[in-house]
């Protein structure tokens, strides 16, 4: 593939841009810019004779996009006349010659790929629209962009335009990358991530951390400011990006990275030590993982098991839904590899819209969600699409005999929902028994505590489950009404808000009164700044990205449980997060001076 | 084959926006005729709603239309009626 990487570098002035640290590490490398048009969009010249194939690919993308609009329209038929009219005009627009003919001409004349041609067409249309004085008509360009986006999604959905063919590893730049995007990229060719949108807990950041790749997120206009082929320094420790760096700057940053890595080497001492305080209190430090390949780092970093395996990735890797056999193989291998340590697998935790492409009977409920975080997702989706859920449960239960597997149900918000889910599980167990397939009938079943209603009702929920796992990423989001992906409010997403700490405490107390284990598996578990509080609250297990385990273990091994509990008690009485942060900072500098004395965090 | 040339004054309060443009393309598509538009903002073929939109036909502006094809008279009438309507579509 002939990419723009081969073009000579254009020299510009060094310039430093600020964003948010998404994942630590420093890399220097060339960037590949994914245009905002669609994630996964890239420009390349076609091979000789490939144009007519490319035209076909473009046309079928238009057709599929049109079909998706038509089925969307059918859902609205009857009411919502305004919506139908808009969808109708989009249907008309998608076949417009300024989009279709123009793109086809560009593909043929310039011998470029369909995505590139579509993007060029869009720019030409934009030029025309920019001249329009009338605000209302000019703003209709948004509709043009929307339909182009639909076509682009169809094009990139085929997964061909991801950087599979890069000769050298690159830094990928885009608006934001969804987990599906990331999985489609060949991560061995990715040095780091740089995005326009998102906060420290955006998907890009989470995935980057789990891959151990540096990421800087929330850099305004970055897709415009740098071009494919530019060299940048990506500083994931400080959330900084340096465009057009001088050789000296590059050297300096690499040296800084080397020092950080030396610190990490010291961390490796802790990998083989037990997770316990000075006074001998043990706590499980386990791993959160996204893909089975991470098993290696789970073992490498000395995790005490897997506290959270996000099982959704198996569902996005191929165009087809995974079979029971596929899932079973993955689960069994993982459980067997870590036995006797526990492996906690969370059942499917996505919105239905994400899987719509795979589902044959995707009916009404896959219309665009107005409010996805509050919509048909997670356990609600599983209960609605029970065939899908049953397949996963069968695979899980079949794997349960090969080690210690724990099933984790996400987003439970009421006792009724829990009972409905358990009824499905019971049914599956019955089926398996009848079929004579072996499984562990005592498989532990737990729930995520991530909806505020579950915190309030934790005492009643605790009676009917085997363990709790507090999912702070979503809990904080729901409790504080903050969308962590929204760059305007992301700074208010605050793990140290006293309300959050009290909710965690309440859940732990409710669980322990019933004698069940309580774990916590949000980002805050792996943050050495927030981990001491969690250790002090008396959790049985903290689950985090594998590479954070030695850091938290080091902290744990330098602590006494008495002090940690005293700290937690103090923080629970704070009225505001400025107080909790000040207290915590004081505690850290007093107790771990070597690590925190000159660290200006918080 | 007949050819009809006329000039329409845009009376629509919000001018020729998406829905109107979509309607124009629909008229042309269902009547076996071609319509060319010429206005201050350039020229457009009535089969493309984006070309129509990019003429930025606001209320009070005028557009010169040329209809060709077997059904030119009917198309001309339908389009003129649409453009000079005083009420929003």
The ipTM is 0.81
Reported confidence tier of residue A601, pLDDT bands at 50, 70, 90: very low
Binary contact (A96, B50; C-beta < 8 A): yes
Reported confidence tier of residue A33, pLDDT bands at 50, 70, 90: confident
Of the two residues A78 and A332, the one the predictor is more confident about is A332
Q: Give the per-residue pLDDT at A201.
A: 59
Of the two residues B84 and A450, the one the predictor is more confident about is A450
Domain ranges in chain A are 2-33+166-263, 44-156, 273-596
- CATH annotation of A2-33+166-263: 3.50.30.10
Q: Give the per-residue pLDDT at A364.
A: 47
- What's the rounded mean pLDDT across residues A4-9? 38
For residue A1, pLDDT beyond 80: no
pLDDT digits (tens, 9 = 90+) for A553-594: 988 998 999 999 999 999 999 999 999 999 998 998 888 877
User: Which chain A residue is nearest to residue B53, measuring alpha carbons?
Assistant: A137
User: B50 is in which domain, residue-wise?
Assistant: 3-83
**Shared fold status for A44-156 and A273-596:** no
Binary contact (A137, B53; C-beta < 8 A): yes
For residue A544, pLDDT beyond 60: yes
Of the two residues A517 and A313, the one the predictor is more confident about is A517
> Does B16 reach chain A within 8 Å, measured CB to CB?
yes
CATH class of A44-156: mainly alpha
- B26 located within any domain: yes
What whole-number distance in Å separates Cα of residue A138 and Cα of residue A126? 9
Host H or E run for residue A191? strand A190-195
A216: left (phi over 0), alpha (psi -120 to 50) or beta: beta
Domain count along chain B: 1
For residue A175, pLDDT beyond 90: no
CATH class of A273-596: alpha beta
Binary contact (B58, A134; C-beta < 8 A): yes
The residue from A226, A242, A521, A574 that is catalytic is A521
Percent of chain A residues past pLDDT 70, beyond the cut: 85
Host H or E run for residue A235? strand A231-235
Q: Is A521 a catalytic residue?
A: yes
Q: What is the CATH number of the domain that holds B75?
A: 3.30.1340.10
- B37 located within any domain: yes
Cα separations (Å) of A319 from A180, A205, A316, A329? 11, 25, 7, 19
Q: Helices A561-572 and A577-591, interaxial angle, to 10°?
A: 160
CA of A51 vs chain B CAs: smallest distance (Å): 24
For residue A126, pLDDT beyond 90: no
pLDDT digits (tens, 9 = 90+) for A514-530: 999 999 998 899 988 89
For residue A171, pLDDT beyond 60: yes
Q: Give the per-residue pLDDT at A398.
A: 97
Three-state DSSP state, A602: coil
- B89 located within any domain: no
User: Which chain A residue is nearest to residue B20, measuring alpha carbons?
Assistant: A89
Q: Count of A–B CB contacts within 8 Å?
A: 58
Percent of chain A residues past pLDDT 90, beyond the cut: 41
With CA atoms as reference, report the closest residue to A122 among A85, A101, A94, A148: A148
Residue of A73, A85, A87, A92 to mutate, testing the B interface (most B Cβ within 10 Å of its Cβ): A92
Binary contact (B22, A144; C-beta < 8 A): no
Residue of B44, B48, B52 to mutate, testing the A interface (most A Cβ within 10 Å of its Cβ): B48
- B44 located within any domain: yes
> Does A125 reach chain B within 8 Å, measured CB to CB?
yes
Work out the angle at residue B88's Cα, subtended by the Cα atoms of residues B82 and B89, and round it to the nearest 5 degrees.
60
DSSP state for residue A313 in the 8-state scheme: G
What whole-number distance in Å separates Cα of residue B59 and Cα of residue A297? 66
> Does A144 reach chain B within 8 Å, measured CB to CB?
yes
- What's the rounded mean pLDDT across residues A16-21? 83
């Amino acid at each position: 593939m002939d990419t723009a990487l081969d073009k000579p570098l254009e020299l510009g002035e060094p310039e430093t841009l600020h964003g948010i640290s998404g994942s630590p590490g420093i890399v220097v490398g060339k960037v590949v810019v994914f245009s905002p048009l669609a994630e996964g969009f890239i420009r390349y010249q076609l091979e000789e004779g490939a144009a007519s194939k490319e035209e076909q690919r473009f046309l079928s993308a238009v057709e599929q996009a049109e079909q998706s609009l038509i089925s969307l329209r059918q859902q609205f038929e009857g009411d919502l006349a305004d919506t139908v009219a808009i969808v109708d005009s989009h249907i008309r627009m998608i076949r417009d010659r300024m989009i279709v003919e123009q793109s086809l001409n560009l593909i043929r004349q310039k011998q470029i790929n369909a995505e590139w041609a579509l993007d060029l067409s869009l720019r030409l249309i934009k030029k025309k629209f920019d001249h329009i004085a009338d605000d209302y008509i000019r703003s209709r360009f948004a509709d043009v962009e929307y339909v182009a986006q639909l076509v682009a999604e169809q094009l990139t959905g085929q997964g061909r335009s991801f950087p599979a063919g890069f000769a050298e590893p690159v830094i990928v730049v885009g608006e934001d990358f969804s987990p599906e995007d990331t999985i489609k990229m060949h991560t061995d060719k990715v040095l780091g991530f740089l995005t326009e949108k998102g906060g420290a807990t955006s998907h890009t950041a989470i995935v980057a951390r789990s891959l151990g790749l540096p990421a800087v997120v929330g850099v305004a206009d970055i897709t415009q400011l740098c071009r494919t082929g530019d060299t940048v320094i990506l500083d994931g420790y400080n959330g900084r990006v340096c465009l057009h760096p001088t050789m000296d700057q590059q050297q300096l940053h690499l040296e800084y990275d080397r020092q950080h890595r030396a610190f990490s080497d010291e961390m490796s001492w802790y990998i083989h030590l037990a997770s316990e305080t000075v006074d001998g209190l043990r706590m499980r430090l386990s791993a959160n993982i996204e893909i089975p390949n991470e098993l290696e780092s789970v073992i490498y970093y000395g995790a005490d098991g897997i506290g959270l395996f996000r099982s959704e990735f198996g569902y996005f890797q191929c165009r087809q839904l995974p079979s029971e056999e596929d899932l079973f193989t993955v689960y069994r291998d993982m459980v067997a590899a870590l036995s006797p340590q526990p492996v906690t697998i969370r059942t499917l935790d996505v919105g239905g819209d994400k899987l719509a492409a795979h589902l044959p009977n995707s009916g009404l409920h896959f219309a665009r969600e107005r409010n996805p975080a509050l919509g048909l997702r997670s356990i609600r989706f599983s209960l609605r699409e029970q065939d899908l859920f049953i397949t996963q449960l069968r695979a899980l239960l079949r794997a349960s005999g090969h080690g210690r597997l724990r099933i984790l149900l996400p987003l439970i918000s009421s006792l009724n929902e829990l009972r409905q889910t358990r009824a499905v599980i019971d049914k599956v167990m019955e089926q398996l028994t009848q079929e004579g397939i072996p499984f562990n009938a005592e498989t532990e079943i737990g729930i995520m505590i991530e909806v505020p209603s579950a915190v309030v009702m934790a005492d009643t929920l605790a009676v009917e489950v085997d363990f709790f796992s507090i999912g702070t990423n979503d809990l904080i989001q729901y409790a504080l009404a903050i969308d962590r992906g929204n760059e305007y409010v992301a700074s208010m997403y605050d793990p140290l808000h006293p309300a959050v700490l009290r909710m965690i405490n309440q859940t732990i107390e409710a669980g322990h009164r019933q004698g069940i284990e309580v774990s916590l598996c949000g980002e805050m578990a792996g943050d050495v700044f927030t981990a001491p509080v969690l250790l002090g609250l008396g959790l049985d297990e903290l689950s985090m990205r594998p590479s954070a385990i030695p850091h938290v273990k080091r902290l744990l091994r330098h602590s006494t449980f008495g002090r940690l509990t005293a700290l937690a008690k103090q923080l629970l009485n704070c009225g505001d997060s400025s107080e909790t942060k000040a207290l915590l900072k004081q505690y850290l500098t007093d107790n771990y001076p070597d690590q925190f004395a000159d660290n200006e965090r918080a | 084959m007949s050819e009809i040339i006329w000039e329409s004054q845009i009376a629509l309060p919000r001018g020729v926006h998406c829905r109107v443009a979509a309607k124009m393309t629909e008229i042309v598509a269902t009547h076996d005729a071609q319509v060319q538009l010429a206005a201050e903002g350039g020229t457009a073929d009535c089969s493309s709603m984006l070309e129509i939109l990019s003429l930025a036909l606001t209320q009070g502006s005028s557009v010169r239309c040329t209809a060709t094809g077997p059904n030119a008279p009917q198309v001309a009438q339908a389009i003129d009626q649409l453009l000079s309507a005083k009420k929003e579509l």
